[in-house]
């Protein structure tokens, strides 16, 4: 039996799916049957979600069993041929991107003026990814200028497009 | 026949104006740009434009979306050829021969061939759109709840199988998760709330556009920013007008790929990427120069690009006639039609027959614009590929956030977009295809209502589900697809095949 890539992740996903499927079935079973309204019992609201819960649990079981027999408990195969340093760099980029996006969409939008949130986000995003400490100051200043220009354009153009042209009240 | 021609002529009149020309031009150009930029897919482009077009008149709005769709699938070939990164998933097969051609200094020739192949592919598909859609709508009039139930199951199962060839189980899981997510909110028969847990914003269910923008937009941004930046194979472009001899030499491949692409497009949820792969595989099998495939074969490039573009009209056929999309961008298109008050489905040829033929013209106009821009704007489009992702992605993210919000003006939809972005990213990393998930989201409501209505009609009797002719075809096909995905069955079939060959 050869080890399947992602075997351990699949095992964990399989278990999560079984839990989700069973929970969906239990919740569906407990849904109102609307007997007081004299509805046809075949139209009970929980029928289809309950059926889907069983199917998801079944598929999760197959996935978990398959992974268990395909090396989920042994050493895992790498998914790519990246070096550890490249993987760390990719991970850093992902964390930085997710954090910036989350701060903008949850923390800033709806709580600060939209133009301000957008300009700040675009500027910070570009600078965060392009900034290199070992670069010459002229190059860094140029990057800051470009980021500020794109941020300013985004802060002006996007609200104008939505508010003025499409008459959308922005958050 | 003559009635159809009359509708076709009437539909043309709708679009014989300057507004149409303007909208086709800018939307196709936006589509090509979106497709050409790695990380921006056709689905994301159509979804974002949906949010920008909902104040337009319906015909012009759908025209804009179709132009963007056609442009994006074609535009993806640019980055596939020059960067070895498919601009959209539909162009993955294009990288196999397009990038080697570019490395040989024949990038212009490759782009020219991709342009003409894409045009021919779309025209083949649009011919069948005009031919099949009215007939399929007529057949669909015989569909009752039993057939719709099986159609939903069939769609999820076959999309799961075809979008995840080497691991159908993950495709099915994605599809059934999509169906389950569609159960959230008020159900459509008794208006009972399900899985809401007291959260009033969930009562209306999960809206399609935020879910799609999250799955295809936010998830894509995370993926692009995580990966290393790509480098262009060449910035020098040779002649971009293709030689007629090449097209004539590969005429069989182009026609075959057009037919395969259209047929694959019609299958629910499968879409352009699979259309391209199957066309490519078929061309390789039939080719006299198969040793060149993967090393810069012009025939391989033609097959992939014809196949993916032919799948566009193919994918629109079931979206129009059954309200079941043939691909992920077609799913957004379907949602946009509903937002604009159009009612795709079996009644379309009765309620608004002109609209079907208007769609035919929309695809034709977009294809012409795509060809013209593709040839004329080769060098400016090269510049777009040089825009650093660090400067592009934050602006795209802002549009992903504000686009879904603009439809309902609810902050909640921004959070739905984010949730589906993260979910889509994780599922993608674990090799789950996204198309069945989206199809499940759309088919969930059909499945739910159809099963319960059918059981009421039959008074709990399950035999009509299995013995009505169309139902029987659907469940038997579904069962065969499932059985054929079982590894033991595959091994047995391979043994039988090898034995016969020996």
Are B312 and B363 in contact by the 8 Å Cβ rule? The answer is yes
Alpha-carbon distances, residue B383 vs B85, B214, B234, B378, B495 (angstroms): 16, 28, 12, 9, 52
Which chain A residues touch B205 with a CB distance below 8 Å?
none
Q: Are B216 and B424 in contact (CB under 8 A)?
A: yes
Q: Which of residues 372-391 of B touch A (CB under 8 A)?
A: 388, 390-391
3-class DSSP state of A5: coil
Is residue B5 classed as helix, strand or coil in its secondary structure? helix
Q: How far apart are CA B305 and CA B432, in angstroms?
A: 24
**Confidence at residue A103, expressed as pLDDT on a 0 to 100 scale:** 96
Cβ contact, residue pair A42, B415, below 8 Å:
no
Q: Take residue B380 and report the two structure tokens written for it.
A: 């400016």
Using a CB-CB cut-off of 8 Å, the residues of chain A touching B146 are: none
Compute the average pLDDT of residues B340-351.
86
- Shortest distance between the Cα of B394 and any Cα of chain A, in A, equals 5
Task: Show which of residues 400-419 on chain B sit within 8 Å of chain A, judged by CB atoms.
Answer: 401-402, 405-406, 409, 411, 414-415, 417-418
Q: Which residue has the tokens 């759309």?
A: B442
Per-residue pLDDT band for B261 (boundaries 50, 70, 90) equals very high
Residue A104 half-sphere exposure, CB side, CA atoms within 13 Å? 27
CA distance B197 to chain A (A): 10
- List, for residues B37-71, the tens digit of each pLDDT value: 876 789 888 988 888 887 889 999 999 999 999 99
Displacement of CA B356 from its chain's centroid (Å): 18
Q: What is the pLDDT of residue B315?
A: 94
DSSP one-letter code for A154: H
Q: How many residues are given for chain A?
A: 171
DSSP labels for B115-157? HHHHHHHHHHHHHHHHHHHHHHHHHHTT--HHHHHHHHHHHHH
- Contact, B112 vs B353, CB < 8 A? no
Say yes or no to pLDDT of B99 above 70: yes
Instruction: Give me the interface pTM, i.e. the ipTM.
Output: 0.92
| Statement: residue B243 has pLDDT above 80 | no
Query: How far apart, in Å, do the first and last CA atoms of chain A sit?
Result: 55
For residue A106, list chain B residues with Cβ-Cβ distance below 8 A: 415, 418
Closest of A159, A168, A163 to residue B408, by C-alpha: A168
What ranges do the domains of chain A cover?
7-68, 84-165
CA dihedral B19, B22, B25, B31 (to 10 degrees): -70
B86 vs B464: CA distance, rounded Å = 45
What b-and-e string marks burial along B412-435, b requiring 16 or more CB atoms within 10 Å of the CB? Answer: bbbbbbbebbbbbbebbbbbbbbb
Q: What is the mean pLDDT of residues A22-33?
A: 93
CB contact under 8 A, A125 and B394: yes
B56-73: b (≥16 Cβ within 10 Å) or e: bebbbbbbbbbbbbbbbb
Share of chain B above pLDDT 90, in %: 41
Closest CA to B344 of B361, B364, B326: B326
Tens digits of residue pLDDT in A123-139: 999 999 998 888 888 99
Cβ-contact A104, A98 below 8 angstroms: no
* Per-residue pLDDT tens over the stretch B209-236: 888 888 888 998 898 888 877 666 666 6
pLDDT of the residue at B500: 52
**Contact (CB<8Å) B394/A53:** no
B479 and A CB contact within 8 Å: no
User: Which pLDDT belongs to residue A114?
Assistant: 93
Q: Can you list the pairs that A46-51 forms with residues at least 24 positions away whose Cβ atoms lie under 8 Å?
A: A46/B194, A47/B451, A47/B452, A47/B455, A48/B183, A48/B447, A48/B448, A48/B451, A48/B452, A49/A24, A49/B180, A49/B183, A49/B194, A49/B195, A49/B448, A50/A24, A50/A25, A51/B451
pLDDT tens, residue by residue, B1-15: 556 667 777 777 778
Q: How far is CA A34 from the centre of its chain?
A: 37
Assess whether pLDDT exceeds 60 at residue A2. Answer: no
**In chain B, % of residues over pLDDT 70:** 95
Would you say B164 and B170 are in contact if contact means Cβ atoms under 8 Å apart?
A: yes
pLDDT exceeds 60 at position B502: no
Instruction: Give the pLDDT confidence score for residue B88 in this predicted structure.
Output: 84
Distance from CA of A127 to the nearest CA of B (A): 9
Predicted pLDDT at B501? 47
pLDDT given at position A132? 87
Residue B17 pLDDT exceeds 90? no
Model confidence at B246: pLDDT above 80: no
Cα–Cα distance measured from residue B251 to residue B205, given in angstroms and rounded to the nearest whole number: 48
Backbone φ and ψ for B193, nearest 5 degrees, come out as: -85, 140
Contact B176 A55 (CB under 8 A): yes
Residue with tokens 């650093």: B388
* Average pLDDT in chain A: 89
Give the number of C-alpha atoms closer than 13 A to the C-alpha of residue B273, restricted to the C-beta side: 25
Please compute the mean of the pLDDT values over residues B98-119 and round it to a whole number: 88
- Which residues of chain A neighbour B222 with C-beta distances below 8 Å? 94, 97-98, 101
Q: Around B125, how many Cα atoms within 13 Å sit in the side-chain half-sphere?
A: 39
**Cα–Cα distance, A32 to A45 (Å, whole number):** 7
CA distance A6 to chain B (A): 7
pLDDT tens-digit map of B268-280: 878 888 899 999 9
Range B368-396 average pLDDT: 85
pLDDT at position B403 is 83
pLDDT at B233: 62
pLDDT digits (tens, 9 = 90+) for B440-457: 988 899 999 999 999 999
Between A40 and A168, residue with greater pLDDT: A40
Place of tokens 């589906």: B420
Cα-to-chain-centroid distance, residue A11 = 20
Extract long-range pairs of B136-141: CB within 8 Å, 24+ residues apart.
B136/B317, B136/B318, B136/B321, B136/B322, B137/B320, B137/B321, B137/B346, B137/B347, B137/B348, B137/B349, B137/B356, B138/B349, B140/B321, B140/B322, B140/B345, B140/B346, B141/B346, B141/B347
What element of type H or E holds B194? strand B193-194
d(CA A73, CA A80): 20
Strands B185-186 and B193-194: antiparallel
Q: How far apart are CA B227 and CA A4, in angstroms?
A: 23
Burial grade of B166 (CB within 10 A; 0-12, 13-18, 19 or more)? exposed
> Mean of the pLDDT values across residues A147-152?
96
Q: CB-based contact (8 Å) between B487 and chain A?
A: no
Q: Which of B58, B54, B111, B109 is closest to B80 using CA atoms?
A: B111
Q: Which of A37, A125, A169 sits opposite B409 (nearest CB)?
A: A169
Q: Of A91-95, A114-118, A167-171, B207-211, where does mean pLDDT reach its minimum? A: A167-171
Distance CA B6, CA B8 (A): 5
Judged by a CB distance cut-off of 8 A, whether residue B56 touches chain A is: no
Nearest CB to B402: which of A10, A37, A162? A162
Residue B41 φ/ψ, nearest 5 degrees: -100, 170
* pLDDT for the residue numbered B371: 93
- Model confidence at A8: pLDDT above 70: yes
The string of DSSP codes covering B318-333 is HHHHTS--SSHHHHHH
Nearest by CB: B194 against A31, A43, A166? A31
- Report CA dihedral (B126, B129, B130, B133) to the nearest 10 degrees: -170
Instruction: Quote the tokens at residue A94.
Output: 């992902």
Helix, strand, coil share (%) of chain A residues, nearest 5? 70, 0, 25
What is the DSSP secondary structure assignment for residue B242, as one 8-state letter? Answer: P
Mean pLDDT of chain B: 87
Handedness of CA A51, A57, A63, A65 (dihedral sign): negative
What does the pLDDT look like over B175-217, one tens digit per residue?
999 999 999 999 888 888 999 988 888 998 898 888 888 888 8
> What are the start-end ranges of the H helices in B208-327?
208-212, 219-226, 244-249, 251-266, 272-286, 298-321
pLDDT for residue B1: 53
pLDDT score, position B231: 67
């Amino acid at each position: 039996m050869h080890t399947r890539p992602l075997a351990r992740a699949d095992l964990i996903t399989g278990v999560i799916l079984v839990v989700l499927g069973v929970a969906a079935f239990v919740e569906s079973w407990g849904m109102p049957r609307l007997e007081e309204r004299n509805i046809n019992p075949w139209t009970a609201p929980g029928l289809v979600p309950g059926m889907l819960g069983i199917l998801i649990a079944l598929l999760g079981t197959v996935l978990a069993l398959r992974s268990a027999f395909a090396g989920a408990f042994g050493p895992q195969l790498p998914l790519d041929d990246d070096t550890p340093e490249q993987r760390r760099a990719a991970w850093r980029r992902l964390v930085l991107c997710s954090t910036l996006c989350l701060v903008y969409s949850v923390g800033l939008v709806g709580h600060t003026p939209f133009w301000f949130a957008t300009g700040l986000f675009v500027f910070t995003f570009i600078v965060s990814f392009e900034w290199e400490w070992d670069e010459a100051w002229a190059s860094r200043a140029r990057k800051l200028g470009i980021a500020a220009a794109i941020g300013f354009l985004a802060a002006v153009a996007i609200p104008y497009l939505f508010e003025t042209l499409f008459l959308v009240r922005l958050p | 026949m003559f009635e159809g021609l009359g509708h076709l002529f009437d539909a043309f009149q709708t679009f014989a104006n300057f507004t149409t020309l303007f909208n086709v031009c800018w939307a196709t150009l936006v589509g090509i740009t979106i497709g050409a930029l790695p990380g921006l897919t056709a689905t994301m482009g159509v979804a974002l434009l949906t949010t920008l077009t909902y104040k337009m008149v319906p015909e012009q709005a759908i025209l804009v979306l179709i132009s963007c769709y056609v442009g994006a699938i074609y535009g993806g070939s640019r980055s596939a050829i020059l960067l070895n990164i498919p601009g959209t998933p539909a162009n993955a097969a294009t990288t196999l021969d397009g990038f080697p051609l570019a490395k040989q200094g024949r990038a212009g020739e490759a782009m020219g061939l991709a342009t003409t192949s894409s045009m021919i592919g779309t025209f083949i598909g649009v011919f069948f759109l005009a031919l099949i859609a009215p007939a399929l709508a007529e057949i669909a009039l015989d569909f009752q709840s039993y057939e719709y139930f099986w159609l939903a199951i069939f769609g999820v199962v076959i999309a799961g199988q075809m979008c995840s060839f080497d691991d159908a189980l993950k495709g099915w899981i994605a599809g059934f998760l999509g169906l389950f997510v569609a159960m959230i909110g008020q159900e459509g028969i008794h208006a009972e709330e399900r899985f809401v847990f007291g959260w009033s914003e969930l009562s209306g269910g999960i809206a399609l556009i935020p879910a799609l923008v999250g799955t295809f937009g936010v998830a894509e941004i995370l993926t692009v920013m995580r990966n290393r930046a790509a480098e262009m194979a060449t910035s020098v472009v040779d002649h971009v007008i293709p030689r007629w001899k090449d097209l004539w030499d590969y005429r069989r491949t182009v026609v075959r790929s057009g037919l395969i692409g259209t047929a694959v497009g019609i299958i629910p949820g499968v879409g352009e990427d699979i259309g391209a792969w199957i066309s490519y595989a078929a061309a390789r099998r039939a080719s006299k120069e198969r040793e060149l495939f993967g090393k810069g074969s012009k025939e391989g490039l033609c097959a992939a690009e014809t196949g993916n573009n032919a799948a566009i009209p193919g994918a629109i056929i079931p979206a129009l006639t059954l309200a079941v999309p043939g691909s992920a961008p077609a799913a957004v298109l379907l949602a946009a039609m509903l937002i604009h008050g159009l009612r795709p489905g079996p009644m379309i040829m009765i309620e608004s027959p002109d609209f079907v033929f208007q769609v035919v013209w929309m695809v034709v106009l977009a294809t012409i614009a795509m060809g013209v821009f593709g040839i004329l704007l080769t060098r400016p489009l090269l510049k777009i590929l040089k825009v650093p992702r660090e400067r592009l992605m934050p602006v795209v993210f802002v549009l992903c956030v504000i686009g879904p919000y603009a439809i309902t003006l609810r902050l909640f939809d921004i959070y739905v977009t984010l949730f589906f972005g993260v979910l889509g990213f994780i599922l993608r990393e674990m090799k789950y295809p996204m198309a069945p998930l989206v199809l499940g989201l759309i088919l969930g409501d059909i499945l739910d209502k159809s099963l319960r209505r059918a059981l009421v009609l039959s008074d709990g009797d399950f035999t009509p589900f299995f013995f009505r002719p169309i139902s029987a075809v659907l469940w038997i096909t579904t069962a065969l697809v499932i059985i054929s995905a079982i590894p033991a069955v595959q091994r047995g079939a391979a043994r039988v095949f090898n034995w016969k060959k020996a």
